[in-house]
Amino acid sequence: MKTMNTPLTPSVSRRSFILGSGGLALGLSFGLTQTELALAQAPGAGGFGPNSWINIGLDGVVTLMSPASEMGQGTMTAMPMLLAEEMDLDWSQVRVVQSPNNPKLYGNPRFGGGMTTGASRTVQGYYEPLRLAGAQARLVMVNAAAQAMGVPAAELRTEASRVIHSSGRAMTYADIAKVAKVPAELPKVDKSMLKPMAQFRLIGKDIPRVDVPAKSSGQALYGIDQRLPGMLWASVLRAPVQGETPESVDDTAARAVAGVKNVVRLPYGVAVVADSFYTAKMARDQLKVVWTQKAKARAQNSDTMRAEYIKRAQNLDDKGVAFIAHGDAAKQLAGATRTFSATYTSEMVSHICLEPMNCTARVDGDKIEVWAPAQSASFVTGTVAGAGGFKPENIKVNITLLGGGFGRRVEADYAADAALVAKAMPGTPIQVIWTREDDMTHDKYRPMTGQHLVAGVDAQGKLVGLLHRVVSEGVYARVVPPAFKASGGKDAPVMEGTEITYDIPDHSVQFMIEDRGIQAGFWRAVGPGYTKFAIETLIDEVARGVKADPLAYRMDLLKKHPRGQAVLKAVGEMSQWGQAKLPQGHALGLAFSDAWNTYCGMVVQVSIEKGRPKVHKVWSAVDCGHALQPQNVQAQIEGSVIFGLSAALHEHMDFRAGEPQQTNLNKYQVLRANETPEVIVKVMPTDNHPGGIGEVGLPPLAPAMANAIASINGKRLRALPLPMV
């Protein structure tokens, strides 16, 4: 029988950092104060720590910190690999631990130094800092070896956790760790000292992911698997409509259920605490709650919302906020030889992280410790501080493995549940688990959108102007209002993907914000999921309209972008674009994506079966710059293709009077194995800073499908999910 302390794998224990983050640790590049530096330098459990990311055990095992949340994207392998690459570590002797929640030491510069994982920014944000940390640690080892061996450092090189002298004499890093002292001043490192691409030993090789063995045997531990002595379970009744709160509560029947330990009123619901989750949930169903009837969401019906969004998107007098204003698109469109215009819609969609939202917490006086499968320790800290009145320095957040994230776990409302219930029962560990129904009713959906696009071409058929209008609920507007205001009302995640590398001289993007009270949030490829759908289907329509081949037309638009051209050319060759002999009724469709600083060309082979598109095959060529783990890049592209296919074919949340009509998987279809196409991905590394990869396959999938359908029957599909054809 498994005990609660079973490590994730022998080499990857996400708890071991609690025992000792080890060695002599030094702040590297995150601007530590002297006090913090002194704290960080306190001796640890043994071994030698050239800096806060790395500890070299006397037994030769090197422990590396992984700062981001592992949700299937492979970050727990990718981040440590960057340290190991520059430090010339023997990868077989590396052990990975989840870093503590310490933004000053481990924060992501791409999130203003916050401990947040999302928006495809982990590799993008940590690529240089972690390589520099590895390079610096390598120098510390070399200098210490030089002293120990009595030779000049210039005569030393490093390989596989060893420092080797030109004479052939060598010391292992473990030997050095026994005698080394952290220098008073750490060696200075800069970008020019990093390895050139040709010298990579780990980056670009298919290193197996460190979390895979435990995830292939049922041993991996997620947030929901957290166990603490004396722990109780809680289930929270929330309102049937977002935004309502309890007016009155009768908990007599719930309290009478055997096994119930407590009923706790929350500002937004009622928690039942019991000795098992099932008891808590059954008792919760006995609560009689009268809810307020004042929420904004209550007035919302999907059909009317959609109609209003379309109308607003088409009303060119309502200019909203200028998100992009390059040149004078209006003037170009007025003078264009021909214009193409189209209106698009997308429905709200849910995340369905397979691990339902959950959180575990224990309160001890004015301190609280939290275990959360969360994408952001910073958001968890903020939420727990805000909801429970704890001081940030009294909140300890442990990030567990995540059973799916997809943007949902950036926000931390489940942590408020755990904090509030744990605060009501000091000393008792509380695990709050949401049901799937809770999850789908109180999700932060990819927003419904209405988009209207107008493209103008000159007499030669060249694109001269593009107007792109997006109507949507805000995401930043709700989640980070100060940042939203500071940006002048530009809601970046909502509008992501409207920036394009196509060479269109006059390009105008307008954002018309809605505030309907149904929460919109981060989702996998949130903005590009619908903005690229609109752009890439309209470009295709324009190309066909001017009698150009859609691939050749895009190549022309990418004249100044060789990386974009290269992926399109490659995917054209992979799919035999223009020459493929396809079965009767099949067609190919093409799309391009440039989001997250990664270039992706995609072709899909589609037929129509019983009025629905069927995808047989997907080809994709991807240039993400330095590809850390090519096999994982393929897996992420394929995963996001399938996520996108699921959304394009099946997914929609419908609301009537603010109530979601789909609250579990019997009403909300997601893609299953038998609908899965073959996905062929060609990774085309280039010597560029890495772009994001976890979301890249999603944006081009739906427009490529719609473009293929147009080739089959001439019908342009302009709604997500794709309508009957």
* Contacts to other proteins by CB under 8 A: 1-4, 71-74, 208-209, 211-222, 224-225, 227, 233, 276-279, 352-356, 401-406, 433, 435-437, 631-632, 635, 638-643, 646, 664-666, 670-676, 678-679
The Cα–Cα gap between 365 and 122 comes to: 35
The partner residues of 248 in beta bridges, in order of sequence, read: 290
CB of 653 to other proteins, least distance (A): 16
Q: Is the peptide bond before 721 cis (omega within 30 degrees of 0)?
A: yes
The Cα–Cα gap between 63 and 65 comes to: 7
Going by the DSSP 8-state scheme, the letter that residue 108 receives in this structure is B
CB of 576 to other proteins, least distance (A): 21
| Tokens read off for 211 | 């979390």
Write phi, then psi, for 561 (nearest 5 degrees).
-130, 80
Please say whether the dihedral angle defined by the alpha carbons of residues 357, 363, 368 and 370, taken in this order, is positive or negative.
negative
- Looking up tokens 């530590």 gives 32
* Pairing label, strands 463-473, 506-514: parallel
Is the distance from CB of 258 to CB of 272 less than 8 angstroms? no
**Judged by CB, which is closer to other proteins: 355, or 514?**
355
**Judged by CB, which is closer to other proteins: 206, or 515?**
206
**Judged by CB, which is closer to other proteins: 333, or 622?**
622
**Judged by CB, which is closer to other proteins: 701, or 709?**
701
Residue 725 CB neighbours (<10 A): 15
CB of 721 to other proteins, least distance (A): 17
Stated as kind and residue range, the H or E segment containing 248 is strand 246-250
CB of 467 to other proteins, least distance (A): 34
**Judged by CB, which is closer to other proteins: 555, or 670?**
670
CB of 635 to other proteins, least distance (A): 7
Q: Rounded to 10 degrees, what is the CA torsion of 180, 182, 185, 191?
A: 80
| Tokens read off for 413 | 């409302």
**Judged by CB, which is closer to other proteins: 167, or 666?**
666
**Judged by CB, which is closer to other proteins: 279, or 498?**
279
Is the distance from CB of 344 to CB of 530 less than 8 angstroms? yes
| Tokens read off for 99 | 């870093």
**Judged by CB, which is closer to other proteins: 255, or 367?**
255
Is the distance from CB of 472 to CB of 494 less than 8 angstroms? yes
The Cα–Cα gap between 280 and 532 comes to: 44
**Judged by CB, which is closer to other proteins: 276, or 304?**
276
CB of 6 to other proteins, least distance (A): 9
CB of 348 to other proteins, least distance (A): 17
The Cα–Cα gap between 127 and 121 comes to: 10
Residue 17 CB neighbours (<10 A): 18
CB of 212 to other proteins, least distance (A): 6
**Judged by CB, which is closer to other proteins: 516, or 682?**
682
Length of the chain: 725
Cβ neighbours of residue 207 closer than 8 Å, sequence gap 6 or more: 77, 81, 91, 629
**Judged by CB, which is closer to other proteins: 368, or 602?**
602
By C-alpha distance, which of 87, 83, 99 is closest to 140? 87
Stated as kind and residue range, the H or E segment containing 64 is strand 62-66
